[in-house]
Each structure stands twice: as structure tokens, then as C-alpha cells.
A and B are shown apart, each in its own frame.
Chain A
């Protein structure tokens, strides 16, 4: 098995052309990033609005839970029958699946912001907008990023499933391999899809750590009783 895989990855024919690894990888990344961008435009403002004003929170959490139960294969096949074109159908499906985790993360981030801090911001005379941008958003960024990480995992997985309705990307290796019972290609596809998911998740995890505001980091360190070196490399 391992030798077959090494041969498969070593075969230069698998690295070029319309069904080569680079093309499939870029396609997969493209679907993921496009759907992520659209989902961010929809989910972040909505999450900020609901989290900041506190209006519609219950409705939002309920809707998010309902969509989590939505079977991805059902959604993708349903949309394909409507749009009869695999890219349009899949991108719409991917956006539908990516919005709830981002929305939940944004909302949870604002909800988790210490009410005393928000009060203090109001006390020093900040307007609603200033409070949102200068206090609530920076403090809740790590949780927002947590939601984005969940969404990206969901996107990479679903884009692979969407190969069933004819989408390009790494899912092609999996399903085309299954169709001709070429198990080496199936496993190679599985490895590539998994690597893409892991690499994207690691990048976002690093961004998430970097985005924790210095004040929040200092407060957390102080609470856990650790010595804090102010101005040092954090």
C-alpha cells in the first residue's frame, strides 16, 4: 500500500494537466476561499449586530443548530437539481454551511465580552460604534476565528463530497478512484484532502493566537498568576 502510494505520488503524470494534483488542489482551495469570503460578508455583520444589540440571539442560535443537522450530500444534490450546474450549486451549498459556525463564533465572542469592560467603555464616553470597534470586536476576535476555523473544516470536507455532483477539486481523486476501484488513487485523494484541511487549520490557529489583544493576554496571565514581561516577545 505504502509503496503504491509512493509510486502514485512519484508519478509525474499526476502532477500536471487538468486533473493533476496542483490543479485539483487550487480548485479545492478556490471553492473553499470563495465560499468563505461570501459567508464572512454575510455572517460577521449579522453576528456583530445581534451580539452588540442582543436582539434576535435566541432565533440565531436555534437557526444555527437546525442548519448543523442539514445533511451536506442532500443539500448539494438538491441545489444541483435546481441550478443544474455543479459550481453554482456547490458554492451556494458551501455558503449555507459556513454561515452558521461563523455567526455562532461572532455572536459568542460578543456575548462573552466582560460586561464590566463594556460598561467602562461607556463610562469613559465611547459611543456605540466606538465600543463595538475598539472594545467588543478586538476582545471577541479569537472566538470569531474559532468559528471561522470550524467553517473552513466544514468547507474542505463538503467540497470533497460535492465531487459527486461533478465538482472539480480533490474530491475527484476520491470518487473517480472509487468508480474504477483504484484504491491507491482513493487513498492519495484522502491524504491530500486531509493535508489541506490540517494546513488551513494550523494557519488559522496561528492567526487566532496572534489576534488575542495584548491587554487580554496580560489579564489572562495575571489571573493565572504567571509573571508577565511587558513589552517582551509575546
Chain B
């Protein structure tokens, strides 16, 4: 196997975890959104495929787009990205001090990272906290 072939394969498999770009994006969403503005700013943080056509009139949209409210304390986070998409795991606790995980898929759209899938996982103990980045499909039963 040539050196170029090896480098190509290694390049395809590489995930970038050093710079927490997705968690920074999540933090912006977390700090900037509330029940009064979420529908107005949703397209800054969420993909068109997640939002669909009628989110501004859908009564379920506000609560679910503010999924951040499920978590009141962040323990840690893991992410992996490639040139088109990425996945972010956030381990934390809910308001009852029970552990939970956010598993988010992001896509890169015109230079902006947008949340494309949201999966909230209520786990039974801290032992189930994810120790690495995983995409939402990992949690489908």
C-alpha cells in the first residue's frame, strides 16, 4: 500500500476533537434562546430539515426546540466532526438531579453548524454517561 493511499485512508477516518466547535455552537444556542425568541432565531441554530415548513405555527415547536431546558447542569461533552457534519454528546443532569445525555447531529451549511437531529436520552446512572462522541442513531433501540 503506497504512502499516499495510507494518508488518504487516514484522512477519511480522522475526527477532530481538539477544538470543541460544536459545543461552542451549542453554548451560543443555550445562551441566546428562550421561549420568547426561539421561533424567530430557530433558523440560526437548526437545519431546515429539522424545522420543516410550519414550525412557527406548530404548538410543539417551542418546547422541543428549547430541549436545552431538560439539562440544568453539564458534566462534560465529546464531539467529532468531519468536513460536512458532526456529532456532539453532552452528559449532564436534569432538574431532578438524574443523569441524561444530549446526542446532537450537526450539519455544516454555508459555513454554519446547524443542529440536524436532537436525541435526549434519560439514562439510569452516571455509569451510562457516554465517554466518547456518538451520533443520535446510536441510541435508537
Tell whether A pairs with B: no
